A and B are shown apart, each in its own frame.
Chain A
């Protein structure tokens, strides 16, 4: 008997059928992965399992009996815990308080703080996390916070844990740790639903895989029966590989940007490299290697203590992002929803934000010129559906299209240097390939591109050279024949 059985589940929202007669069977003690492009229906499926939404048709069986999961509280009570990508922890409270949130231990009306702290520490230790459970979770890394959520599931005696994109922001090392913890959950007889974009990890942790596409289930089977290329084919309904995007032109001989000995302890130390027009320099490394900190320093968001940078031969030390933009450097932040977009704004308003002065005569915005420029930039990045509707609120766009809006916005600034931080994170495969083409096109148009990515295939497909950072230092630079996934990974993880 299966622990959880969804049969012919259908869920409609106004204007879209998010799930169309989908079946899913999850066994106790096993990991079942659900993969698919953005918009395939994975999130909706999780919401149904979590009790946050109810299906319009179909049946959910739990432990063999039909059930209605009326609310998240109801699902929790039955032993179902869903861990969302945006972790649901109270940042100012400790791990102990978070773990027991909503089910606090109390004695005579007073919280049994010591007992909870002890139990929390024990649950965390079981997951290989040895921290003071009383310190605010805001001080923990994303990986550690995930373990806190897992510990919460353990303390609740969850029988099914569903994880939504748990590895999106983790380093290879952290992913390995999480995979081991997931395995230990299954050893306890807990069922796991694992939703992810990263197919290699899916194949590593899951015994069965279900592929969703456009709200339908297109394939279910054992992990051993399928290779990565076949999975991608199922997901997109066509063959997609990261084709190597060859440079359309040789880079300029002289560097546009020269970074020498840049240091801000403890984030980065003695970083030196050169960046030329027409080339893409990749930056590889584990999360915490100092890549984002380096990029933010170059973008004028944070500063550096020693070292110097020249841009086009002149000293470069931006005092603010505004300053950096004026000098011709654009930075596309990693978290586009938090740092890249004003979600209440339309596509047009987002795209023109950095260059509004161009359309403003004495402060007054010339709407016609603004619309024209926004439309041209949106078309240039191939925003869908085409021709692009620049008056749509960006909240209504998919992740891939949102990222295109961010790109269009920075294209308009006519920057000479473009710094990408994880440009395709959380973007579906089809849009990824399109973004890769755009990034290469930027370099071919003579821009100097710095590309931070945790996805090795992406770096291999795009970068002319790759700097590998480790613990704040440049551990090595690879190019040409030497640029292989194995070499990059080896430099990134090498023991200190």
Chain B
């Protein structure tokens, strides 16, 4: 039984231990400003990991989310700064439209992943490897290879475009004033927390969530029980794509520009966070809060090593070691169930 508890809260314990270690040995780690910076920095990866968890729990994998950041980002930025949209719907309308276009593009590609996997019966690794490549190419095609961003000074719509970018920046880089916090609480972190809470609700409290676990646990039994397996899978991939689209908007807002190469290799960070957070690549296991904790663990590690002035190369090695540790730990706790 104790092993069960350790298995369930092991990652949380590891995160707390890491934070305690950082608090003791890393000057400046415990500063509120630093802690909120960590939240800001992990928000994109945590949101990707959240969507990834849905897919991994069904027993699949989504390699396309990194490229989707690029594609959804340039599409929403292009929408936002297009003369036509600004003229037609104004700055506010363009911002809303940009968010919708980004999220919608992500969800649409995700749904296509799901359709090819569920109805076309193609291995998700292959499907999303293909869409990963296609999406990256499309992002470069849309932009001609250069970032979409701050308007040129001679642009007749300069003021409007700047205002639109500022509006999106309020979403991706904005701060909510909180007493006691000098710079306020970062908007993306708040969005991340809300999304994770919503994801946790969907996974644990809804029919859709139960079906996601059932499919990952035993797809055939689920199908024979009348679970609409294909539809649920499509939904899981669409959620992953939609999360990537949202993350792309936060990133565009943060940077006030969208590069076609944004999000390169982010899919691997997302998978790492989900797995560290307890998701099993065999399917059937994983939680939304776990994805957040996994992303936080990576974030705290990076932040601590940053503050200590450790080379980024070492940070990568440390991240890899953590992944191995998490999986080893997982295997170790599972072994305990054998004789239970």
Contacts and interface: CB of A to CB of B under 8 A. Distances in A.
Interface stretch (B9-17, B80-88, B217-225): B217-225
A356 interface: yes
Contact of A356 (B207, B220, B221, B337): B207
B217 A321 contact: no
A357 interface: yes
A354 interface: yes
Contacts of A324: 226
Contacts of A331: 224
Q: Which residue of A324, A338, A357, A363 has the most chain B CB atoms within 10 A of its CB atom?
A: A363
Interface in A387-436: 395-396, 409
Given A13-B339, A353-B227, A342 B222 contact: yes
A340 B220 CA distance: 8
A301 B229 CA distance: 13
Given A365-B205, A365-B206, A322 B226 contact: yes
Given A341-B218, A342-B217, A353 B208 contact: no
A57 B339 CA distance: 18
Interface residues of A, number: 33
Nearest to A342: B217
A110 to B, nearest CB: 32
A338 B208 CA distance: 22
A333 B221 CA distance: 9
A344 interface: yes
Interface residues of B, number: 24
A366 to B, nearest CB: 9
A372 interface: no
A14 interface: yes
B214 interface: yes
A360 B207 CA distance: 6
A76 interface: no
Interface string A319-332: 01110111000010
B210 interface: yes
Contacts of A344: 213, 217-218, 284-285
A354 B207 contact: no
B226 A326 contact: yes
B120 interface: no
A322 B207 contact: no
A364 interface: yes
B221 A341 contact: yes
B224 A333 contact: yes
Interface in B214-272: 214, 217-218, 220-228
A114 interface: no
B31 interface: no
Interface in A363-383: 363-365, 367
Contact of B214 (A299, A326, A353): A353
Contacts of A322: 226-228
B205 A354 contact: no
Contacts of B213: 342, 344-345, 349
Contacts of A354: 225-226
A475 interface: no
A493 interface: no
A299 B224 contact: yes
A45 to B, nearest CB: 16
Contacts of B284: 342, 344
A338 B249 CA distance: 43
B321 interface: no
A339 interface: yes
Contacts, number: 80
A353 B222 contact: yes
Interface string A343-356: 11100010001101
Given A321-B226, A322-B228, A357 B207 contact: yes
A207 B75 CA distance: 78
Interface string B305-340: 000000000000000000000000000000001011
A321 B223 contact: yes
A360 B222 CA distance: 17
A354 B221 CA distance: 10
A357 B226 CA distance: 11
A409 B218 CA distance: 15
Contacts of A339: 218, 220-221, 224
B286 to A, nearest CB: 11
Interface in A204-255: none
Nearest to B210: A356
Contacts of A395: 337
A416 to B, nearest CB: 15
Contacts of A356: 207, 210-211
A342 B221 contact: yes
A364 B224 contact: no
Contacts of A338: 218, 220-221
A87 to B, nearest CB: 19
A356 B225 CA distance: 10
B221 A325 contact: no
B221 A340 contact: yes
B210 A365 contact: yes
Nearest to B216: A344
Interface string B197-211: 000000001111011
A231 B188 CA distance: 70
Contacts of A349: 210, 213-214
Interface string A94-108: 000000000000000
Contacts of A301: 223-224
Nearest to B207: A360
A341 B211 CA distance: 13
A349 B217 CA distance: 12
B226 A363 contact: no
A342 B59 CA distance: 13
A345 B224 contact: no
Contacts of B210: 349, 353, 356, 365
A146 B217 CA distance: 28
A360 B227 CA distance: 14
Given A14-B339, A325-B226, A333-B224, A342 B214 contact: yes
9 contacts: A299-B224, A325-B226, A331-B224, A339-B224, A342-B284, A344-B218, A345-B214, A353-B210, A353-B214
Of all A-B residue pairs in the complex, the 6 with the closest CB atoms, nearest first, are A342-B217, A322-B226, A325-B226, A360-B207, A344-B217, A354-B225
Interface of B: 205-208, 210-211, 213-214, 217-218, 220-228, 284-285, 337, 339-340
Given A320-B226, A322-B228, 12 more contacts: A301-B223, A338-B218, A339-B220, A339-B221, A342-B214, A342-B217, A342-B218, A344-B217, A356-B207, A363-B206, A365-B206, A367-B205
Interface of A: 13-14, 299, 301, 320-322, 324-326, 331, 333, 338-345, 349, 353-354, 356-357, 360, 363-365, 367, 395-396, 409
